[in-house]
Amino acid sequence: MLRSLNESLIKLNNERYYELFSFLMKTFNLKKINLMNKAALLLSLLLVICFSCNTQKNKTDEVATSYLNWQAIADQLIKQSQLQSGEQVLLVGQVGQFEPLVPLLKEGIESAGAKYLGTMSIDNNQPEAWRTDFTTSLGELNGEELVLFLSSVDLGIMLPGATPADKVYGGLQAVLNQGKGRTIHFHWQGAYDLNGRLMEPDSTIDLFYENVLLHTNYDALAAKQIEFDNAMRDNWITVTTPTGTDIQFQIGDRKVTKQDGNASLNHMATATTLIDREVELPAGAIRVAPMEETVSGTIAFPDSEWGGQLVKGLVMKFEDGKVVEVQATENIEAVQEEMKNAGEAGKSFREFALGFNPMLAIPDDKSWIPYYGYGGGVVRLSLGDNSELGGNVGGGYVRWNFFTDATVKVGEEVWVDGGKLIK
């Protein structure tokens, strides 16, 4: 039994505790203690160590998020909201993610003269501190009754963990589609590797995002996006890459959504699409669904996963906004299968997005793509449903494709050169 307890201590993989065991063996001369007492003593020691390990893990988990400046983050979200007196605000989040923000946001909302409606958990785990009469009633509703009840919400703040698949989040989107309200999308996700695979946020990404949120020049960002919108109106936009992309399109009178971080009620006066009313923070990109019939040319994709398989050398040819030819050097079958399962949306050009926030640009080590490609010079050429952008393609399927080395011309004017925003 002594041997098994000793081995259990070793399996803890902690030299400090193993040294403690050896020390006790020598100090108390355990060889002189009968077997039962030895076992009892060592079992007690093992339990103490296990408890200590769990306590240490809990402390480590707390430390893992303590480096974020919760007060500054909450203050910035309230600042970008520009709340008006009497507005009603609902938070939607997941227990265990960014919970320290909830009481700080509540305080900021009420200090601005607005009404805090509570925080709705995305599952049935609703902390007592989050509950209000509003959230209690909300939890009992579904369908049209849910949407009608949510129509009284002026601002919804989507905290990390909440997604459109969640009941309340989806209900708020239905309200936005009626031309009412607004939401802040504070996902804290959207970091991708250079092959388009989603990365989980770590301390490096957390601190990177916090810095961007707190120090973006929002006025300069908005001005540059307006300038680009105006430039596109009567011109052809051309996107090329060193690997062979050469595609062009026009936007006509399509709405350009400018993710400039402005979540004020006044900013919603010009909102015409769903994503106009969904304000992303961190901020940075413009997004537009080009006129489908004008999209023509070739997209040469970076190596990326399709259906769980890494596809290399993928090239698609477009005519009138539709894929008419597909080639690849490896795993073309994975591409064909995904497109087939997606239906018409799978072979349709969705949107053009261009990042303008210099603070979200690709880091110098080029190891990852921050926040959904919202950084200066990052291009998204996406496939699928573009109805939320005011386009004519439905079907639900959406695929984002990131290009970090693209050149973007508006008419004859170069705005992005080799992945660098130069205007």
Q: Please write the tens of the pLDDT for every residue from 348-368.
A: 999 999 999 999 999 888 789
Residue 272 has pLDDT above 80, yes or no: yes
In order of 90, 117, 288, 290, the CA distances from 250 in angstroms are 38, 43, 10, 6
Q: At what angle do helices 2-11 and 15-27 cross, to 10 degrees?
A: 150
Please count the other Cβ atoms lying within 10 Å of the Cβ belonging to residue 413. Answer: 10
Average pLDDT value for residue range 331-344: 97
283's tokens: 């901020």
Mean pLDDT of 110-127: 95
- pLDDT interval class at 86 (50, 70, 90): very high
83 — phi, psi (to 5°)?
Answer: -60, 145
Domain 70-187 coded CATH 3.40.50.720: yes
pLDDT of residue 416: 98
Residues linked to residue 184 through DSSP beta bridges, in sequence order:
157, 279
Phi, psi of 234, deg, nearest 5 = -110, 25
Cα Rg, the chain, nearest whole Å: 27
379, 402 in Cβ contact below 8 A?
A: yes
Cβ atoms of residues 362 and 375 within 8 Å: yes
- In this predicted structure, the answer to whether residue 29 has a pLDDT above a threshold of 90 is no
pTM for the whole structure:
0.84
Helix axes 167-176, 143-150, angle to 10 degrees: 60
Contact 10, 3 (CB under 8 A): no
- Give yes or no for residue 20 having a pLDDT over 70: no
CATH 3.40.50.720 domain range(s) in the chain: 70-187
pLDDT at 133 over 50: yes
Task: Give percent above pLDDT 70 in the chain.
Answer: 85
**With bands split at pLDDT 50, 70 and 90, how would you rate the model's confidence at 34?**
low
Mean pLDDT of the chain: 88
Weakest-pLDDT range from 320-329, 343-352, 364-373, 377-386: 364-373
Residue 152: pLDDT over 80: yes
**What does the pLDDT look like over 71-85, one tens digit per residue?**
999 999 999 999 999
Residue 90's φ and ψ, nearest 5 degrees, are -120, 135
**8 Å CB contact between 140 and 152:** no
pLDDT of residue 276: 97
Which is nearest to 263 in space by CA: 276, 274, 250, 252? 276
What's the full length of the chain, in residues? 423
For 147-161, what is the mean pLDDT?
Answer: 98
